[in-house]
Structure 1
Amino acid sequence: MKKSLLALALVPVLFASAAHAESAAYAIDPTHTFVTFEIDHFGTTTNRGRFDKKEGTIQFDRAGKTGKVDITIDASSINTGTGPFDGHLKSPEILNAAAFPTAHFVSDKFVFDGDKVKEVTGQFTLMGKTNPVTLKATKFNCYVNPMVKREVCGGDFEATIKRSLWGASYGINYGFSDDMRLVVQVEAVKQ
């Protein structure tokens, strides 16, 4: 009787261990990962840019419906396609990339809809300030990449943030929007 009670008590532990064992490490594929931003310009056009240098890792457990993201973005790698504009964005007036060379996103929760990631919540640090951000998935999938012969997971995620919360307030008093749309396209290769 004692043995069967002990065995019954161990069942949840064994299931938890089995689910934990399904967690896998993924490395961000920089050739298929892009972090872009959009800001309204006087209600007339949209300023867009991207960060060319980024790196990070993802822990993902599909069965346990958990995960963790850790992405670092090189702030000086901002690229709008216009050199003088890039220089202004890197300046102390806007991103102050010399003083704050990186931006950083660390997730604290994955939210699922069935087997698909619906959103990822976490903390985003920019210019030395950290605030919560929720990235909503517009696409998510895992597949076996025929080139590298390994599983790749990823998707398209987006969020609209108030840039002034991070101290990026330049132009708001001129009429530029405080809202900045972040679009993150990410693919990560199972290690």
Structure 2
Amino acid sequence: MRSTLFALAAASLFATAAHAAPAQYAIDPTHTFATFEIDHFGASTNRARFDKKQGAVEFDKAAKTGKVEVTLDMTSVNSGTAAFDKHLKSKDIFNTDQYPVSKFVSDKFVFDGDKLKEVTGQLTLNGQTHPITIKANKFTCYESPMLKREVCGGDFEATIDRTQWGVNYGVDWGFAKNVRLVLQLEAVKQ
């Protein structure tokens, strides 16, 4: 009887260890970049980035599950041209006086075997929230020799129809509706 109880206790302990809690990560703003690209009449591509961002990731490698929340300070948009930045912040486009932040929240990581394929979630922009799927072009975790902690990160992208979020400026003139979002993200284990 004692050996049976011992075996059950050991099995229970092993099962608990195998299902460890997800790890918590804080986004490293020095290795995280959020940019967008939009076609300009077929002649060129307008690009800009958001200089201020923050967020957190929860990731369980064994279960292949996770959560992510990334917040962008829309007032930090930076195209490299002050006049264009001012227009991007205006009511015509991001309306940063009324909606100073944008947020992506997800609780679904999709894997193909051991490879992260995509992250699905909700994007809030201009006061509206709609689902998006962000494709993972690459993703890995590594032990940072500088931080002496685990870092997970990758390169992600999605294409959205901006009019879903009420960003309609220039559509009547032939400006593209589709915007390519590119996110390079690294997060440090806490």
Given the two structures, how large is their TM-score scaled by the length of structure 2? 0.92
1:16-95 mapped onto 2 (5 Å cutoff): 17-95=16-94
1:179 and 2:178 correspond: yes
Q: Helix, strand or coil for the counterpart of 2:84?
A: helix
Q: Find the aligned partners of 1:150 and 1:120 in 2 and give their Cα distance.
A: 24
Change (3 A) 1:10 1:93: farther
1:115: how far off?
1.9
Report deviation, 1:20.
Answer: 4.2
> In the TM superposition, what is the alpha-carbon distance from 1:19 to its structure 2 partner?
4.7
Q: Does 2:121 align with 1:106?
A: no
Q: Is the 8 A contact 1:19 1:64 kept in 2?
A: no
Deviation of the 1:9 alpha carbon: 10
In the alignment, the residues of structure 1 paired with residue 13 and residue 181 of structure 2 have an alpha-carbon distance, to the nearest angstrom, of 40
Unaligned 5+ segments in structure 2 are none
Q: Decide whether aligned partners of structure 1 residues 99 and 14 sit closer, same or farther in structure 2, where only a CA change above 3 A counts.
A: farther
Matching residue's letter, 2:131: P
Cα separation, 2, equivalents of 1:53 and 1:39:
21
Cα deviation digits, residues 23-55 of structure 1 (max 9, x gap): 100000000000100000001100000000000
What SS does structure 2 have at the residue aligned with 1:40? strand
Secondary structure of 2:164's aligned partner: helix
In the alignment, structure 1 segments of 5+ residues that lack a partner are: none
**1:188–1:164 Cα change, 3 Å:** same
1:125 maps to 124
Corresponding position of 1:142: 141
Which runs of 4 or more aligned residues in structure 1 lie more than 6 Å from their structure 2 counterparts after TM superposition? 6-16
Aligned residues: 190
**Percent identical residues:** 64
Instruction: Give me the whole-angstrom Cα distance separating, in 1, the residues matched to 2:46 and 2:69.
Output: 27
